């Protein structure tokens, strides 16, 4: 057995890699931006379990070095293609990327936006404290950015 020769066809490996990449792209888009910037220990456990589960979907019953490298290459190329498409076409960017969400305007908390982003008040207050904010009344805007980080404009 040659460790460089895949046990399954390259076409099957390509299809598996593309399918898993697209599934994860959609799943993380649906999961919301809060999870991207503020990962908890539970989120990390879920991510590790997902990576193990989808590994089998990508490699099938192929444990060859060549097959693994080919699958990884396909995923890297797909990621580069998606990055280029989101840069080039605004419609694709809106589909793939999140948009910023206003959480505070003029010292007033926009609770509907917090709820929509599944951001609890304790998490929100902790994020404000990390920015040195004691009272929301002292803040003009708080924005939940595309990457899940919070921006505070005083």
Task: Convert the pLDDT of each residue in 31-55 to its tens digit.
Answer: 766 555 566 777 778 878 888 888 8
Q: In the beta sheet, which residues pair with residue 105?
A: 108, 141
In angstroms, rounded to a whole number, what is the distance separating the alpha carbons of residues 150 and 135? 16
pLDDT-derived band at 103, boundaries 50, 70, 90? very high
Instruction: Report yes or no on whether pTM surpasses 0.75.
Output: no
Minimal CA–CA distance to 148: which of 37, 3, 30, 5?
Answer: 37
Domains and their CATH numbers in the chain: 10-96 (no CATH), 101-153 (3.30.240.20)
Is it the case that residue 89 has pLDDT exceeding 90? Answer: yes
Q: Tell me which of 137 and 32 has the higher pLDDT.
A: 137
- Give the residue from 114, 100, 105 showing the smallest Cα distance to 137: 105
């Amino acid at each position: 057995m040659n460790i460089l020769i895949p046990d399954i066809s390259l076409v099957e490996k390509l299809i598996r890699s593309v399918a898993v990449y697209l599934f994860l792209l959609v799943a993380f888009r649906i999961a919301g931006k809060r999870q991207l910037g503020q990962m908890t220990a539970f989120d990390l456990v879920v991510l590790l379990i997902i990576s193990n589960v989808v590994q089998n979907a990508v490699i099938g019953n192929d444990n060859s070095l060549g097959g693994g490298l080919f699958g990884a290459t396909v995923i890297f190329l797909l990621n580069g293609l998606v990055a280029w498409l989101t840069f080039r076409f605004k419609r694709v960017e809106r589909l793939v990327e999140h948009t910023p969400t206003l959480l505070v305007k003029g010292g007033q908390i926009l609770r509907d936006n917090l709820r929509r982003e599944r951001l609890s008040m304790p998490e929100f207050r902790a994020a404000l404290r990390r920015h040195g904010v004691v009272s929301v009344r002292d803040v003009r805007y708080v924005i939940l950015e595309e990457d899940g980080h919070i921006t505070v404009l005083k």
